Copies of this chain bind each other. A is one copy, B any other.
Amino acid sequence: MKPLTVIAATALFAGCAMAQDFNDRPPNAEGQTPAFANQTRAPALANIVMDREVVARGLEHPWGMAQLPDGSWLVTERPGRLRLVSPEGNLSDAIAGVPAVDALDQGGLLDVAIAQDFAQTRRVWLSFSERNAEDLTYTAVATGVLSDDASRLEDMRVIWRQTPYPSTLHYGSRLVFDGQGGLFVTTGERGGTDAPRFAQDLSTTLGKVVRIDPISGAPMGRPGVDGAMPEIWSWGHRNMQGATLGPDGALWTVEHGPMGGDELNRPEAGRNYGWPVVSYGEEYSGAKIGQGLTQKEGIEQPVYYWDPVIAPGGMTFYSGEMFPQLQGDLLVAGLQAGAVVRLKLGADGRVSGESRLLRDVGRVRDVAVAQDGAIMVLTDEQDGALIRATSGR
């Protein structure tokens, strides 16, 4: 990893004094003790032995995937390629028309999402890292239309750009439709231990969930918070590389924490998720994060945290029929875990059990549920793979 040089941050700080105001929120409705405080290391769940097959190999650091109605999979490769994998495992050439990406360190072509009415519109969204004329980088979102022969993206337009920053780390980013006409984009705080607390700075979109119109990119933000950038939904996040809409209709996210501080959150509009004011982790040097707080009034607790970390990639709730025992469980891709991390949620919303699935496939970057209920994973390798896990006979 190359050294991170923090430059020209003054302009980004314009809103910092103001930002404090947004922390003056009352504590949770539950009172001083947050509902989910301190939840980690849930009891182990029984192992599930799955059949599996490598559907496609030769994917270079694949990052995101979306299944098309015909059963094939759009898969992003971080260096900047979008590929189509047929149900039989045939890998297409790179699809033309993908925006130029800044594929350094953690940057590149990241997530892909398709329209709910893709069969009619063939509309596709991509998230990726871009570099501007000032040599600053940021997460961007573009949308366009996949040609009928799936050979190219047409009419691609960038509809949203994150606040630029000098770093090639912590770009987020997952694309999640909110079911209400909006598109959530999860971002990163862009890394660097010496960097100011941009995740708490509401004049930037670093370390935020943002909510935009999926066609125009217009801010859809959140109700009831004034002064912050209009697309901001929630803040105080570190690096959210996983997000999904839960069966409860709410957004769920996972973020990379520092050592011992990976978090599962259920970000609500206008709320602060604490980074770097509170954290269950610490610097890799062993130093405290800020004052070493894990809880603070006006700051939300994670639903769950991991120590040691799993290094979360993508996530999804399991909703298929193939694995009845996984119904409603949360599946989180684990890079460091080298597995899919399974969390069972109780009726009270708390995590009642945890286990690891697919523990020998390497670094898991993304996880998805196929139309037939199979579990699909992407492995983050130079020679990465799309793997399909099934219940067998």
Contact surface of A with B, Cβ cutoff 8 Å = 47, 49-54, 89, 339, 356-362, 379, 385, 387, 392-393
The 5 A-B residue pairs with the shortest CB-CB distance, nearest first, are A359-B360, A359-B359, A51-B53, A54-B392, A47-B362
In the docked arrangement, what's the CA distance between A379 and B339, Å? 20
Measured between beta carbons, the chain B residues less than 8 angstroms from A49 are 54, 360-362, 379, 385, 387
Set of chain B residues within 8 Å of A47, measured between Cβ atoms: 360-362
> Within the complex, what minimum Cβ distance (angstroms) separates A126 from chain B?
27
Q: Shortest CB–CB separation between residue A55 and chain B, in angstroms?
A: 9
Minimum C-beta distance from A21 to chain B (A): 49
Q: Does the CB pair B360–A392 fall under 8 Å?
A: no
* A393 neighbours in B (Cβ, 8 Å): 53-54, 89
Residues of B within 8 A of A359 (CB): 359-360
Task: Given A47-B360, A359-B360, answer yes or no on A52-B52 (Cβ-Cβ < 8 Å).
Answer: yes
Give every chain B residue within 8 A of A385 (Cβ-Cβ). Answer: 49
Closest to A385 in B: B49
Q: In the assembled complex, which residues on chain B have CB atoms less than 8 Å from the CB atom of A51?
A: 52-54
Give the docked Cα–Cα distance between A356 and B360 (Å): 8
A52: chain B residues at CB < 8 Å are 51-52
Most B CB within 10 A of own CB, among A47, A339, A362? A47
- Give A48's nearest chain B residue, CB to CB: B360
Residue ID in chain B nearest A384 by CB atoms: B49
Contacts of A54 in B (CB 8 A): 49-51, 392-393
Mind listing 21 A-B residue pairs with CB under 8 Å?
A47-B360, A47-B362, A49-B54, A49-B360, A49-B361, A49-B379, A49-B385, A50-B54, A50-B360, A51-B53, A51-B54, A53-B392, A54-B392, A54-B393, A89-B393, A339-B360, A356-B360, A358-B360, A359-B359, A359-B360, A360-B360
Measured between C-beta atoms, what is the minimum distance from A353 to chain B in Å? Answer: 16
Question: Please, which residue of chain B has its CB at the minimum distance from the CB of A357?
Answer: B360
Q: Which residue of B lies closest to A356 (CB)?
A: B360
CB closest residue in chain B, given A388: B51
Q: Which residues of B contact A387 (CB under 8 A)?
A: 49
Least CB distance, A297 to chain B, in whole angstroms: 42
A381 to B47, CA, bound (A): 11
**Chain B proximity of A311: nearest CB distance (Å):** 16
A306 CB to closest chain B CB (Å) equals: 18
CB-CB < 8 A to A53: which residues of B?
51, 392-393
* List of B residues within 8 angstroms of A362 by Cβ: 47, 49
Chain B residues closer than 8 Å to A89, beta-carbon distance: 393
A50 to B57, CA, bound (A): 11
Tell me how far the C-beta of A51 lies from the nearest C-beta in chain B, rounded to whole angstroms. 4
Chain B residues in 8 Å Cβ range of A339: 360
A360 to chain B, nearest CB (A): 4
A51, A357, A360, A385, most chain B CB atoms within 10 A: A360
